[in-house]
Structure 1
Amino acid sequence: MTAPSVQPEAPLALYIHWPFCVLKCPYCDFNSHVRTSVDQQLWQKSLLADLAYESSMLPGRKLGSIFFGGGTPSLMPPATVAALIEAADARFGLLPGAEITLEANPSSVEAARFADLAAAGVNRVSLGLQALDDTALRFLGRAHGLAEGLAALDTAQASFRRVSFDLIYARPDQSLAAWEAELARALAFGTGHLSLYQLTVEPGTRFATLAAKGLLTIPDEDVAADLFAMTRAMTEAAGLPAYEVSNHARLGEESRHNLVYWRGQDYAGIGPGAHGRRGRVATVRHRKPENWLTRVDAQGHGLQEETLLDSKERATEALMMGLRLTEGADLAAIAATAGAAAPLDETKAARLQSLGLVRREGTRLIVTAAGMPVLNAVIGELLA
């Protein structure tokens, strides 16, 4: 497929997927795999080849961010991270102050690499703490304990200019008081960004198997809504308001990379299972690591498919993503970018507005604080 017409001045985001983990967490439905050994030299060579191909399809674009996701990319040798950042800069060009994020597990082995990863060019780390309680960590299948996790957080904050960490709440039998205490402790660490996710049972996971057997029950919708509301109130009071459904940050600490997704802008994706958007073209890489390697070796890239999106598909996707943001979806910008108006059911939008679940600010449609706990239902109503 020939390279699409693009706007050279628009910053691009680059996602690099590292698919390997030490173990598979029971709640995880991401493209992650456990392998007894990894040919690090082959993986570096293959990722660089995939990057070279993708850059050839996006001529003239500059990178505003790079995100190493997974899997567990903190298992990557720092030399591979450095080689990929260097190649991305050479092929695309990194804008001044570009955000370069790497997801990390808080094990002592991986934390020992933080200084080298920072020297390689990583300036933001996203740490998968997931809980501040040893019993909860065991339930979530995490390989680290609380003491190890907090030590890794200290190391991260000493190594990187920007740090975020994840917590999972709405766990089985978790009370409002217990989550309030856990979140208060998390906020006291002074980190500039928190990703706070309610536990969901995803198909194909070990938790889904347990739930089907009646061995796992998560809080009902009413309890989950109370936990969500308390989370928003506490983070707001601490100066880390929600800027997306599950993401909270001090002003200026928002994930610039993830905002590219939520604002419907272009991003390149390389590595197993990575998705990308080149204007109207949606890209998907082969998901299984071995299949991706085979395709890179055979054709110089790991692409599985490229799909030309029509205007309505682009507008629909942009609307759905934009409504996740506290700033809302800019309907005028969507129409200009997608070439079609967002497929909005105006009658239902007016009804939801009368109920206080959405509001209008100029050309923006915004889901209110009352609407956010039922965001999926709101989006379902809004789409024409």
Structure 2
Amino acid sequence: MPNPLALYIHWPFCVSKCPYCDFNSHVRESVDDAAWRTALLADMAYEAKLTPDRKLTSIFFGGGTPSLMPPSTVAALIDTAAQLWGFADDIEITLEANPSSVEAARFADLATAGVNRVSLGLQSLDDAALAFLGRAHSVAESLNALEIAQRHFDRINIDLIYARPDQTAGQWEQELQRALSFGTDHMSLYQLTIEPGTRFETLVRTGHFIPAAADDAATLYEITQQITSAAAIPAYEISNHARTASESRHNLSYWRYDDYIGIGPGAHGRRLNSATQRHKKPENFLSAVARNMHGISSEEHLDAESRATESLLMGLRLNEGISLDRLSARTGVAADKLLDLAAVDKIAQLGLIQRTGDHVTVTSQGMPLLDAILPQIVNVEVETAA
């Protein structure tokens, strides 16, 4: 049976650029919706010809702000995807949305179009924090949007950003407990990071604010794990928490290194042992589709070691860990070539990793240290090949 196939559709436009955001998002005075619908459909059709006889297990509309898309465009993309590939019986179709009143007004039409899961970027439950984060909505507007979403979608994720400057443990605990009271089945809880090229990076460099100290952020991470576990919505990935059987199937496709198609400006894909990337700038993407009937800017064949390394790096983010036997069977790379097993066992003595037979799992204590652990256990020559 073929591996699961996921589809990611990138809508690059936003009303404004958030100061912490390094995603491929763009502000434009106007958007030619008809032109974008045509281009995305063509990009999709190109990929479908390369992946016949596969069924989609998930679709994810990301951005940017895909809740700004006309619901008719969303419907056209979903309907065409069904015709090109066919759907698994329990397909998950997620759309990211800002919790503004304008976008919430579209939720009913988006549900009719076929979206069955929405991811709401609440980001904070404090109005002052929202202003700091450059968000255009208020807490009251967020909660109204969440209420509307809960009427139209069975599955809802909410995003929150913590470890903000001067945020105390008590403040975060109160905010998180309030968020848990909303009863959503999934929460994405991200520590604020200062990404290169963002406005926040400039503000930090020029001394306008000081990010949270690493020790303070680590304390807030521990509080997050304790509170969410007690509320039966534990972490299944570093920043993602879900109730039983409510994990994001689309994101699991990434972390389990299944094939996924990426269309739209800047979208990445992994399919047929190749890595694809689309043109990032919207205008360049449209021009490429007009010339070539696809928006690909680069396509690279991934050798077995590169695929094995990527699979390892993604899989270790999950609390389920990885099976070395499964990884070797899929890529042909032996586990002892990929990993320094002696280093794995040494770190396991510190309680940061568990190795049981062929299965390797990063523990809850090790997960916040994952970036430091990986260089010690992944063989240098394989890591370089990736």
| TM-score between both structures, scaled by the size of structure 1 | 0.97
Which residue of 1 is the match for residue 253 of structure 2? 260
Deviation of the 1:49 alpha carbon: 0.2
Q: After superposition, what is the alpha-carbon deviation per residue over 1:216-266, rounded to whole angstroms, capped at 9, x for unaligned?
A: 212212111111011001000001010000000000110000000000110
Give runs of aligned pairs for residues 16-55 of structure 1, distance below 5 A: 16-55=9-48
Can you give the 5+ residue segments of structure 1 that lack an aligned partner in the other structure?
1-7
Deviation of the 1:65 alpha carbon: 0.2
Question: Is the contact made by 1:232 and 1:242 (CA closer than 8 Å) also made in structure 2?
Answer: yes
Deviation of the 1:361 alpha carbon: 3.0
Question: Is the contact made by 2:4 and 2:253 (CA closer than 8 Å) also made in structure 1?
Answer: no
Give runs of aligned pairs for residues 301-312 of structure 1, distance below 5 A: 301-312=294-305
Are 2:316 and 1:323 equivalent residues in the alignment?
yes
Query: Which residue identity does 1:247 align to in structure 2?
Result: N
Which residue of 1 is the match for residue 355 of structure 2? 360
Question: Is the contact made by 1:124 and 1:160 (CA closer than 8 Å) also made in structure 2?
Answer: yes
Secondary structure of the structure 2 residue equivalent to 1:96: strand
> C-alpha distance in 2, partners of 1:244/1:120?
30
Deviation of the 1:294 alpha carbon: 0.1
Q: After superposition, what is the alpha-carbon deviation per residue over 1:177-236, rounded to whole angstroms, capped at 9, x for unaligned?
A: 000000000001111100000000000000000111122212212111111011001000
1:378 to 350, 367, 373: 373
2:330 to 325, 329, 337: 337
Deviation of the 1:363 alpha carbon: 1.9
2:103 to 110, 134, 150: 110
Question: Is the contact made by 2:345 and 2:355 (CA closer than 8 Å) also made in structure 1?
Answer: no
Which residue of 1 is the match for residue 112 of structure 2? 119
Give runs of aligned pairs for residues 286-305 of structure 1, distance below 5 A: 286-305=279-298
> C-alpha distance in 1, partners of 2:18/2:270?
29
> C-alpha distance in 2, partners of 1:364/1:103?
34
Secondary structure of the structure 2 residue equivalent to 1:185: helix
Question: Is the contact made by 1:29 and 1:202 (CA closer than 8 Å) also made in structure 2?
Answer: yes
Secondary structure of the structure 2 residue equivalent to 1:290: helix
> C-alpha distance in 2, partners of 1:141/1:135?
10
Are 2:217 and 1:224 equivalent residues in the alignment?
yes
Runs of 4 or more above 4 Å deviation: none
Secondary structure of the structure 1 residue equivalent to 2:92: strand
Identity of aligned residues (%): 61
Secondary structure of the structure 2 residue equivalent to 1:52: helix
> C-alpha distance in 2, partners of 1:106/1:131?
11
Are 2:158 and 1:179 equivalent residues in the alignment?
no
Query: Which residue identity does 1:314 align to in structure 2?
Result: R
Deviation of the 1:375 alpha carbon: 1.1
Secondary structure of the structure 1 residue equivalent to 2:212: coil
> C-alpha distance in 1, partners of 2:270/2:375?
23
> C-alpha distance in 1, partners of 2:323/2:128?
43
> C-alpha distance in 1, partners of 2:330/2:136?
44
Which residue of 2 is the match for residue 351 of structure 1? 346
Query: Which residue identity does 1:156 align to in structure 2?
Result: A
> C-alpha distance in 2, partners of 1:333/1:70?
33
Deviation of the 1:351 alpha carbon: 1.1
Query: Which residue identity does 2:319 align to in structure 1?
Result: T
Query: Which residue identity does 1:59 align to in structure 2?
Result: P
Which residue of 1 is the match for residue 383 of structure 2? none
> C-alpha distance in 1, partners of 2:179/2:77?
32
Question: Is the contact made by 1:322 and 1:330 (CA closer than 8 Å) also made in structure 2?
Answer: no
> C-alpha distance in 2, partners of 1:334/1:216?
44
Aligned residues: 377
Secondary structure of the structure 2 residue equivalent to 1:64: strand
Question: Is the contact made by 1:168 and 1:196 (CA closer than 8 Å) also made in structure 2?
Answer: yes
Question: Is the contact made by 1:12 and 1:266 (CA closer than 8 Å) also made in structure 2?
Answer: yes
Question: Is the contact made by 1:10 and 1:62 (CA closer than 8 Å) also made in structure 2?
Answer: no
> C-alpha distance in 2, partners of 1:136/1:338?
45
| TM-score between both structures, scaled by the size of structure 2 | 0.96
Question: Is the contact made by 1:134 and 1:145 (CA closer than 8 Å) also made in structure 2?
Answer: yes
1:137 to 123, 127, 130: 130
> C-alpha distance in 2, partners of 1:239/1:249?
8
Which residue of 1 is the match for residue 277 of structure 2? 284
